[in-house]
Amino acid sequence: MPKQAMENLTESMFYLLMALARGDACGAEISAYAAQISGGAVRLGPATLYTLLARFEKEGFLTEAGTVGCKRYYHLTAAGKAAYDGERARLQRCLEDAARAEITAPASLTKGDVRDETSQQGNCLPSGPLPVL
C-alpha cells in the first residue's frame, strides 16, 4: 500500500511541529528551538524551514498567527497537533519494538555469534555429490 503524503514526518518536520506545539513562534524561534532541544543535531536552515512552513500551511497543519515587524508568527492547528502526536506515537512504538527485539533476540542473532556452517539448518548446498549434467 503506498504511503500518503505527510504520513511519516522527517526529522526536520517533526522538530518544527514540536516547536509549534509549545506555542506560536516565528521562523527564527522555531529554528533556535530545534537546535537547542536536539543538542545541535537538528539545524533548520532558512530554505528547509520556510519550505516546510509553506508546505504545512498548505496541508492545514499551521496558520499564520500574525506579524510583529518583519517576523511572521505561526500557530499549530488541530490537524498539525494530530500529526505531531501521531508521529510521537509512531516513534515511541519503534523504540519499544527495538527494546523488545533486544530482549528477545535469539542467541543465534547476537553479536559475535560464530556457528559451524555445516550445522546450519537450511544450508543451500546439497549434502551429496553434485549431479553431472
DSSP the chain: -PPPTTSS--HHHHHHHHHHHTS-EEHHHHHHHHHHHTTTS----HHHHHHHHHHHHHHTSEEEEEEETTEEEEEE-HHHHHHHHHHHHHHHHHHHHHHHHHHH--GGGSTT----GGG-TT-SS-SSPPPP-
Q: pTM here?
A: 0.73
Domains and CATH numbers, the chain: 11-98 (1.10.10.10)
Residue 104 pLDDT: 75
Higher pLDDT, 41 or 8: 41
Check whether 76 has a pLDDT greater than 50: yes
Q: Give the residue-averaged pLDDT of 15-37.
A: 97
Check whether 15 has a pLDDT greater than 60: yes
What mean pLDDT, rounded, does the chain reach?
84
